[in-house]
Amino acid sequence: MIEVKLKEKENKATTFNITLTPLRIVFMGTPEFAVASLDALVKAGYNIVGVITAPDKPAGRGMTLQQSAVKKYAVEHNLKVLQPEKLKNPEFLAELKSLNADLQIVVAFRMLPEVVWNMPRMGSVNLHGSLLPQYRGAAPINWAVINGEKETGVTTFKLKHEIDTGDILLQQSFAIGENDTAGEVHDTMKEIGAELLVKTVKGLADGTLTDRPQTTNHQPQTLLHAPKIFTETCKIDFNKSVNEVHNLIRGLSPFPGAFTKQERKTLKIYKSEKQITALKTTTGNYETDGKTFLKFACANGYIEVKELQLEGKKKMTVEDFLRGYRFT
């Protein structure tokens, strides 16, 4: 409620009460990354009229139905939840329209059809895990680390037809440490992204924020992309440099994990250290004292393994691994 006072001719003040209707917001997201953004919006007092997330899926040994992280949060906070199998389902579209949203917020969700993203009067805003236009695609955090970037960031932008190409609203950058894993970057990013999203909604609500086209001064060859990670992406090539192998390991940690083969079993490496030095063996070979260290030869030195997981075993430190494993 806002009070506005106007002066009359007799120098008396007349007060008018004007009620501003808060934005009706629909939030769309699924994994834990999106929970931080939803939580930030709720704590900022925004009116979340609906939450759209993935359907419950069977998981675990008992194949019991598991709720998404976003659904768990929404249920705990008594928010309306919709879980469509298909986003073009007429019943879902009718229910979504009935929410009468002014704005839709999308964080780590599926690609939306135009009938969905174009429904609210203010459109739909997406939070993306890179400084667009760099690293458009499904895995921006992983690829930024794999490519050895020293900096990344988050972008809020308006959705349009082509993926991750909409007009930019706000951006925020932050540093990537030399040994930061994708998981650590993810955890930093979700908090920075949540704060940026609240600023974005505030700016849109009060009319102080305007969008701008993504810069087009990048030559096509300088634009880096972030495609989905496949198994072949995760295989370690020890013929590459120490830096390249180290970056691949941390860029795929904790999931899905960079791997090599050891006696026909998959060996995933989650943490490593670099040793740039002259080689005493050929690339791909390992050296170990059987107690405290395990390292693999690369093109210009060694990758020393710090945390790993052998197929069929749990993740562990290299010391714990060597206590129970004998190389043949």
pLDDT tens per residue across span 260-300: 999 899 999 999 999 999 998 999 999 999 999 999 999 99
Distance CA 258, CA 267 (A): 8
How do the domains of the chain map onto residue ranges?
24-222, 231-324
**What's the topology of domain 24-222?**
Rossmann fold (3.40.50)
pLDDT at residue 213 tops 90: yes
Do the beta carbons of residue 311 and residue 265 sit within 8 Å? yes
pLDDT number for residue 17? 44
The CATH superfamily label for domain 231-324 reads Formyl transferase, C-terminal domain (3.10.25.10)
pLDDT at residue 145 tops 70: yes
Which segments of the chain are extended strands (E)? Answer: 2-7, 13-18, 24-29, 47-52, 57-59, 64-66, 81-82, 103-107, 124-128, 151-158, 168-175, 258-262, 265-276, 286-288, 294-298, 301-310, 316-317
Q: Rounded to 5 degrees, what are φ and ψ at 262?
A: -130, 110
Question: Locate tokens 């994994």: which residue?
Answer: 31
207: left (phi over 0), alpha (psi -120 to 50) or beta: left
Structure confidence by residue, pLDDT tens digits, 105-114: 999 999 999 9
Which segments of 97-232 are extended strands (E)? Answer: 103-107, 124-128, 151-158, 168-175
Do the beta carbons of residue 125 and residue 156 sit within 8 Å? yes
pLDDT number for residue 26? 98
Where does the pLDDT of residue 157 fall: very low under 50, low under 70, confident under 90, or very high at 90 and above? very high
What residues have CB less than 8 Å from 183, skipping those under 6 apart? 253, 254, 255
Distance CA 165, CA 145 (A): 22
Mean pLDDT of the chain: 92
pLDDT number for residue 220? 60
Domains 24-222 and 231-324 share a fold: no
Mean pLDDT of the region 224-251: 97
Structure confidence by residue, pLDDT tens digits, 75-117: 999 999 999 999 999 999 999 999 999 999 999 999 999 999 9
Where does the pLDDT of residue 222 fall: very low under 50, low under 70, confident under 90, or very high at 90 and above? confident
pLDDT number for residue 21? 66
What residues have CB less than 8 Å from 97, skipping those under 6 apart? 119
Q: What one-character-per-residue DSSP string does 221-268 give?
A: GG--B-PPP-HHHHB--TTS-HHHHHHHHHHTTTTT-EEEEETTEEEE
Distance CA 35, CA 108 (A): 10
Do the beta carbons of residue 71 and residue 123 sit within 8 Å? no
pTM of the predicted protein model = 0.90
pLDDT at residue 160 tops 80: yes
Mean pLDDT of the region 8-22: 50
Q: Bridge-partner residues for 283, per DSSP?
A: none
Where does the pLDDT of residue 7 fall: very low under 50, low under 70, confident under 90, or very high at 90 and above? very low
The C-alpha angle 143, 235, 245, rounded to 5 degrees, equals: 60
